[in-house]
Amino acid sequence: MNRFDRVKVLLTGAGSGIGRATALRLVSEGAEVYAVDLSGAGLAETAAAAGGGPGRILTRTADAADEAAVVEAVRAAADGLGGIDVLVNVAGIHRTTPIEQLTVADMEQLFRVNTVGTALFCREALPHLPHGSGVIVNVASSAAAHGNPYMTAYAASKGAVLGFSLSLAAEVAHQGIRVVPVSPGSVATPLAGPHVLPAGLDTSYYGRIRAPFGTAEPEQIAGVIAFAASRDAGYLTGAEIRADGGSHI
Ligand SMILES: NC(=O)c1ccc[n+]([C@@H]2O[C@H](COP(=O)([O-])OP(=O)(O)OC[C@H]3O[C@@H](n4cnc5c(N)ncnc54)[C@H](O)[C@@H]3O)[C@@H](O)[C@H]2O)c1
Protein backbone atom coordinates (compact mmCIF):
# COMPACT_ATOMS: atom_id res chain seq x y z
CA MET A 1 0.00 0.00 0.00
CA ASN A 2 1.61 3.29 -1.11
CA ARG A 3 -0.77 5.82 0.43
CA PHE A 4 1.95 8.49 0.17
CA ASP A 5 3.12 7.90 -3.39
CA ARG A 6 4.95 11.15 -4.33
CA VAL A 7 3.32 12.99 -1.40
CA LYS A 8 5.65 15.74 -0.16
CA VAL A 9 6.04 15.71 3.61
CA LEU A 10 7.92 18.14 5.86
CA LEU A 11 8.71 16.28 9.09
CA THR A 12 10.40 17.67 12.21
CA GLY A 13 12.12 15.65 14.91
CA ALA A 14 13.13 13.04 12.35
CA GLY A 15 16.50 12.34 13.95
CA SER A 16 15.25 9.97 16.66
CA GLY A 17 12.37 8.05 18.18
CA ILE A 18 8.86 8.72 16.89
CA GLY A 19 10.07 11.14 14.20
CA ARG A 20 12.53 8.62 12.77
CA ALA A 21 9.93 5.86 12.79
CA THR A 22 7.51 8.23 11.04
CA ALA A 23 10.09 9.08 8.38
CA LEU A 24 10.71 5.39 7.72
CA ARG A 25 7.00 4.60 7.60
CA LEU A 26 6.21 7.44 5.19
CA VAL A 27 9.16 6.68 2.89
CA SER A 28 8.13 3.02 2.88
CA GLU A 29 4.72 4.17 1.59
CA GLY A 30 6.24 6.27 -1.18
CA ALA A 31 6.51 9.72 0.43
CA GLU A 32 9.13 12.32 -0.38
CA VAL A 33 10.17 13.39 3.11
CA TYR A 34 12.04 16.55 4.01
CA ALA A 35 13.37 15.62 7.43
CA VAL A 36 14.40 18.31 9.91
CA ASP A 37 16.09 17.91 13.27
CA LEU A 38 18.55 19.59 15.59
CA SER A 39 20.78 16.53 15.33
CA GLY A 40 22.70 16.04 12.10
CA ALA A 41 23.95 12.65 13.30
CA GLY A 42 20.39 11.55 14.03
CA LEU A 43 19.23 12.66 10.61
CA ALA A 44 22.10 10.79 8.94
CA GLU A 45 21.03 7.58 10.71
CA THR A 46 17.43 8.10 9.67
CA ALA A 47 18.40 8.78 6.06
CA ALA A 48 20.57 5.67 5.97
CA ALA A 49 17.72 3.55 7.32
CA ALA A 50 15.26 5.06 4.81
CA GLY A 51 17.58 4.52 1.87
CA GLY A 52 15.62 1.60 0.45
CA GLY A 53 12.67 3.74 -0.63
CA PRO A 54 10.35 3.54 -2.49
CA GLY A 55 10.06 7.20 -1.48
CA ARG A 56 13.04 9.41 -0.77
CA ILE A 57 14.39 11.50 2.06
CA LEU A 58 16.16 14.85 2.16
CA THR A 59 17.55 16.17 5.42
CA ARG A 60 18.36 19.49 7.03
CA THR A 61 19.52 20.43 10.50
CA ALA A 62 17.51 23.25 12.05
CA ASP A 63 16.46 24.41 15.50
CA ALA A 64 12.66 24.48 15.79
CA ALA A 65 13.01 27.11 18.51
CA ASP A 66 14.80 29.55 16.17
CA GLU A 67 12.34 31.55 14.08
CA ALA A 68 14.80 32.45 11.32
CA ALA A 69 15.94 28.82 11.08
CA VAL A 70 12.33 27.62 10.75
CA VAL A 71 11.59 30.17 8.02
CA GLU A 72 14.66 28.99 6.11
CA ALA A 73 13.94 25.29 6.67
CA VAL A 74 10.39 25.57 5.35
CA ARG A 75 11.53 27.54 2.31
CA ALA A 76 14.26 24.95 1.64
CA ALA A 77 11.74 22.12 2.03
CA ALA A 78 9.34 23.69 -0.46
CA ASP A 79 12.22 24.23 -2.91
CA GLY A 80 13.74 20.80 -2.36
CA LEU A 81 10.48 18.89 -2.70
CA GLY A 82 8.74 21.21 -5.16
CA GLY A 83 5.98 21.95 -2.64
CA ILE A 84 4.68 20.70 0.70
CA ASP A 85 1.53 18.57 0.98
CA VAL A 86 1.84 17.48 4.60
CA LEU A 87 3.53 18.93 7.70
CA VAL A 88 4.26 16.64 10.64
CA ASN A 89 5.59 18.31 13.81
CA VAL A 90 7.28 15.73 16.02
CA ALA A 91 10.32 17.64 17.38
CA GLY A 92 10.07 18.07 21.11
CA ILE A 93 11.90 18.02 24.42
CA HIS A 94 10.97 16.71 27.82
CA ARG A 95 11.90 17.76 31.36
CA THR A 96 10.84 16.36 34.71
CA THR A 97 11.13 18.81 37.59
CA PRO A 98 9.45 18.98 40.99
CA ILE A 99 7.44 22.20 41.25
CA GLU A 100 9.74 23.71 43.91
CA GLN A 101 12.63 23.51 41.45
CA LEU A 102 10.83 24.75 38.38
CA THR A 103 12.63 27.69 36.78
CA VAL A 104 11.59 30.28 34.25
CA ALA A 105 14.39 29.01 32.02
CA ASP A 106 12.94 25.46 32.10
CA MET A 107 9.49 26.71 31.22
CA GLU A 108 10.70 28.99 28.48
CA GLN A 109 12.78 26.26 26.88
CA LEU A 110 9.92 23.74 26.91
CA PHE A 111 7.46 26.23 25.45
CA ARG A 112 9.99 27.56 22.97
CA VAL A 113 10.72 24.15 21.42
CA ASN A 114 7.44 22.27 21.92
CA THR A 115 4.86 25.01 21.44
CA VAL A 116 6.47 27.94 19.63
CA GLY A 117 8.47 25.61 17.36
CA THR A 118 5.32 23.75 16.36
CA ALA A 119 3.44 27.00 15.78
CA LEU A 120 6.24 28.47 13.67
CA PHE A 121 6.40 25.43 11.39
CA CYS A 122 2.62 25.61 10.96
CA ARG A 123 2.66 29.33 10.18
CA GLU A 124 5.44 28.98 7.63
CA ALA A 125 4.24 25.76 5.97
CA LEU A 126 0.56 26.69 5.66
CA PRO A 127 0.93 28.94 2.60
CA HIS A 128 2.46 25.95 0.77
CA LEU A 129 -0.21 23.40 1.69
CA PRO A 130 -2.71 22.66 -1.07
CA HIS A 131 -6.29 23.69 -0.38
CA GLY A 132 -8.54 20.65 -0.33
CA SER A 133 -5.86 18.15 0.63
CA GLY A 134 -3.20 19.75 2.86
CA VAL A 135 -2.64 18.17 6.28
CA ILE A 136 -0.87 19.13 9.49
CA VAL A 137 -0.22 16.53 12.19
CA ASN A 138 1.12 17.89 15.48
CA VAL A 139 2.43 15.54 18.14
CA ALA A 140 1.14 16.61 21.56
CA SER A 141 1.09 14.14 24.49
CA SER A 142 -1.39 12.34 26.71
CA ALA A 143 0.23 14.52 29.41
CA ALA A 144 -1.77 17.40 27.92
CA ALA A 145 -4.97 15.95 29.36
CA HIS A 146 -3.87 13.68 32.22
CA GLY A 147 -1.86 14.77 35.24
CA ASN A 148 1.67 13.45 35.59
CA PRO A 149 3.70 14.41 38.66
CA TYR A 150 6.89 16.39 37.99
CA MET A 151 5.83 17.12 34.42
CA THR A 152 3.92 20.37 34.98
CA ALA A 153 5.80 22.52 32.50
CA TYR A 154 6.11 19.78 29.87
CA ALA A 155 2.39 19.00 30.19
CA ALA A 156 1.54 22.69 29.89
CA SER A 157 3.64 23.03 26.74
CA LYS A 158 1.86 20.02 25.22
CA GLY A 159 -1.56 21.24 26.35
CA ALA A 160 -0.70 24.37 24.42
CA VAL A 161 0.14 22.29 21.34
CA LEU A 162 -3.25 20.60 21.63
CA GLY A 163 -5.16 23.87 22.01
CA PHE A 164 -3.17 25.50 19.22
CA SER A 165 -3.93 22.60 16.88
CA LEU A 166 -7.67 22.55 17.58
CA SER A 167 -7.96 26.29 16.97
CA LEU A 168 -5.83 26.12 13.84
CA ALA A 169 -8.07 23.32 12.53
CA ALA A 170 -11.05 25.64 12.90
CA GLU A 171 -9.18 28.51 11.26
CA VAL A 172 -8.09 26.66 8.11
CA ALA A 173 -11.07 24.31 7.68
CA HIS A 174 -12.54 26.57 4.99
CA GLN A 175 -9.40 25.89 2.94
CA GLY A 176 -9.95 22.16 3.16
CA ILE A 177 -6.76 21.78 5.21
CA ARG A 178 -6.92 19.27 8.06
CA VAL A 179 -5.11 19.68 11.40
CA VAL A 180 -4.84 16.64 13.66
CA PRO A 181 -3.14 16.55 17.05
CA VAL A 182 -1.80 13.11 17.97
CA SER A 183 -1.19 12.48 21.67
CA PRO A 184 0.98 9.48 22.48
CA GLY A 185 1.19 7.91 25.91
CA SER A 186 4.44 6.29 26.96
CA VAL A 187 6.69 5.44 24.01
CA ALA A 188 10.05 3.64 24.14
CA THR A 189 12.37 6.40 22.91
CA PRO A 190 15.37 8.23 24.40
CA LEU A 191 12.97 10.97 25.60
CA ALA A 192 10.88 8.78 27.90
CA GLY A 193 11.17 6.08 30.54
CA PRO A 194 11.89 5.76 34.24
CA HIS A 195 15.35 7.29 33.79
CA VAL A 196 13.81 10.74 33.25
CA LEU A 197 12.04 10.80 36.63
CA PRO A 198 13.68 12.81 39.41
CA ALA A 199 15.67 10.60 41.79
CA GLY A 200 14.44 10.19 45.36
CA LEU A 201 10.85 11.34 44.77
CA ASP A 202 7.60 9.38 44.96
CA THR A 203 7.07 7.98 41.47
CA SER A 204 4.54 5.31 42.47
CA TYR A 205 1.91 7.12 40.41
CA TYR A 206 3.66 5.93 37.28
CA GLY A 207 3.36 2.33 38.42
CA ARG A 208 -0.39 2.80 38.87
CA ILE A 209 -1.01 4.21 35.38
CA ARG A 210 0.86 1.51 33.48
CA ALA A 211 -1.06 1.08 30.21
CA PRO A 212 -2.78 -2.28 29.68
CA PHE A 213 -1.16 -2.34 26.24
CA GLY A 214 2.27 -1.56 27.74
CA THR A 215 4.76 0.95 26.43
CA ALA A 216 4.47 1.73 22.72
CA GLU A 217 7.20 1.19 20.20
CA PRO A 218 7.82 4.34 18.11
CA GLU A 219 6.57 2.44 15.05
CA GLN A 220 3.11 2.13 16.64
CA ILE A 221 2.85 5.92 16.96
CA ALA A 222 4.26 6.35 13.46
CA GLY A 223 1.39 4.20 12.20
CA VAL A 224 -1.13 6.51 13.87
CA ILE A 225 0.59 9.60 12.48
CA ALA A 226 0.64 8.06 8.99
CA PHE A 227 -3.07 7.31 9.26
CA ALA A 228 -3.84 10.88 10.39
CA ALA A 229 -1.81 12.28 7.48
CA SER A 230 -3.31 9.96 4.89
CA ARG A 231 -6.44 10.22 2.77
CA ASP A 232 -7.89 7.42 4.93
CA ALA A 233 -8.37 10.16 7.54
CA GLY A 234 -9.88 12.64 5.06
CA TYR A 235 -12.89 13.32 7.34
CA LEU A 236 -10.74 13.78 10.45
CA THR A 237 -9.81 17.28 11.57
CA GLY A 238 -9.81 19.29 14.78
CA ALA A 239 -9.98 16.10 16.84
CA GLU A 240 -7.23 14.66 19.00
CA ILE A 241 -6.09 11.09 18.49
CA ARG A 242 -4.89 9.80 21.85
CA ALA A 243 -2.69 6.73 21.37
CA ASP A 244 -1.83 5.77 24.95
CA GLY A 245 -2.38 2.04 25.08
CA GLY A 246 -5.39 2.51 27.35
CA SER A 247 -3.45 4.06 30.23
CA HIS A 248 -6.54 5.96 31.40
CA ILE A 249 -9.41 3.57 30.70
N1 LIG B 1 8.37 9.17 24.10
C2 LIG B 1 7.21 9.40 24.72
O3 LIG B 1 6.82 8.70 25.68
C4 LIG B 1 6.34 10.53 24.25
C5 LIG B 1 5.03 10.61 24.77
C6 LIG B 1 4.20 11.62 24.36
C7 LIG B 1 4.67 12.58 23.45
N8 LIG B 1 5.94 12.47 22.97
C9 LIG B 1 6.37 13.50 22.02
O10 LIG B 1 6.79 12.88 20.83
C11 LIG B 1 7.75 13.72 20.20
C12 LIG B 1 8.95 12.89 19.81
O13 LIG B 1 9.55 12.42 20.99
P14 LIG B 1 10.43 11.10 21.05
O15 LIG B 1 9.92 10.31 22.18
O16 LIG B 1 10.54 10.48 19.71
O17 LIG B 1 11.82 11.73 21.54
P18 LIG B 1 13.29 11.70 20.93
O19 LIG B 1 14.11 12.45 21.90
O20 LIG B 1 13.66 10.32 20.55
O21 LIG B 1 13.12 12.57 19.59
C22 LIG B 1 12.91 13.96 19.62
C23 LIG B 1 13.65 14.57 18.44
O24 LIG B 1 13.38 15.98 18.42
C25 LIG B 1 14.60 16.62 18.13
N26 LIG B 1 14.60 17.97 18.66
C27 LIG B 1 14.63 18.33 19.98
N28 LIG B 1 14.68 19.66 20.07
C29 LIG B 1 14.67 20.14 18.81
C30 LIG B 1 14.72 21.45 18.28
N31 LIG B 1 14.81 22.54 19.05
N32 LIG B 1 14.70 21.58 16.92
C33 LIG B 1 14.65 20.50 16.11
N34 LIG B 1 14.62 19.25 16.58
C35 LIG B 1 14.63 19.08 17.91
C36 LIG B 1 15.66 15.79 18.80
O37 LIG B 1 16.96 16.03 18.26
C38 LIG B 1 15.16 14.38 18.52
O39 LIG B 1 15.67 13.86 17.31
C40 LIG B 1 8.05 14.85 21.18
O41 LIG B 1 7.33 16.00 20.80
C42 LIG B 1 7.55 14.30 22.50
O43 LIG B 1 7.19 15.32 23.40
C44 LIG B 1 6.77 11.48 23.34
| pLDDT tier for residue 194 given thresholds of 50, 70 and 90 | low
Whether 248 has a pLDDT exceeding 90, the answer reads: no
Q: Is 165 in the pocket of ligand 1 (CB under 6 A)?
A: no
Whether ligand 1 lies within 6 angstroms of the CB of 215 is answered as no
> Ligand 1 centre from 136 Cα, in Å?
17
pLDDT of residue 208: 72
Mean pLDDT score of the chain, rounded to an integer? 95
Contact 221, 191 (CB under 8 A): no
Q: Which residues lie closer than 8 Å to 200 by C-beta, 6 or more apart?
A: none
State in Å: Cα 62 to ligand 1 middle: 14
Q: Is residue 2 part of a domain?
A: no
- CA of 115 from ligand 1 middle (Å) equals 12
pLDDT at 171 over 70: yes
167 part of a folded domain: yes
pLDDT of residue 211: 84
Instruction: Report whether residue 63 contacts ligand 1, using a CB cutoff of 6 Å.
Output: yes
pLDDT at residue 1 tops 80:
no
Instruction: Establish whether residue 37 lines the binding site of ligand 1, counting it when its CB lies within 6 angstroms of any ligand atom.
Output: yes
- Going from the C-alpha of 135 to that of each of 36, 89, 141, 166, the distances in angstroms are 17, 11, 19, 13
Set 150, 154, 205, 235: catalytic member: 154
Residues 6+ apart with CB under 8 A from 207: none
Q: Is residue 3, in this structure, part of any structural domain at all?
A: no
Q: Does the beta carbon of 181 sit less than 6 angstroms from any atom of ligand 1? A: no
Is residue 202 very low, low, confident or very high in pLDDT (cuts 50, 70, 90)? confident
Cα-to-centroid distance, 174 and ligand 1 (Å):
31
**pTM, 2 dp:** 0.97
> Does residue 247's CB lie within 6 angstroms of at least one atom of ligand 1?
no
| Domain range for 94 | 8-241
Which atom number of ligand 1 is nearest to the Cα of residue 64?
32
Q: Cα of 190 to ligand 1 centre, how many Å?
A: 8
Mutate to test the pocket of ligand 1, among 11, 72, 187, 220 (most ligand atoms within 8 A of CB): 187
* Ligand 1 atom 8, closest CA: 141
Whether residue 216 is contained in a domain is answered as yes
- Mean pLDDT of all residues in 89-114: 96
Establish if 249 belongs to a structural domain: no
Let me know if residue 102 belongs to a domain: yes
CATH number of the domain encompassing residue 160: 3.40.50.720
60 falls within a domain: yes
User: Is 205 labeled as catalytic in the residue annotation?
Assistant: no
Residue 118 falls inside a structural domain: yes
Q: Please determine, for residue 7, whether its predicted confidence score (pLDDT) is greater than 90.
A: yes
Phi, psi of 152, rounded to the nearest 5 degrees: -55, -50
Domain tally for the chain? Answer: 1
Is any atom of ligand 1 closer than 6 Å to the C-beta of 134? no
The mean pLDDT value for 195-206 works out to 75
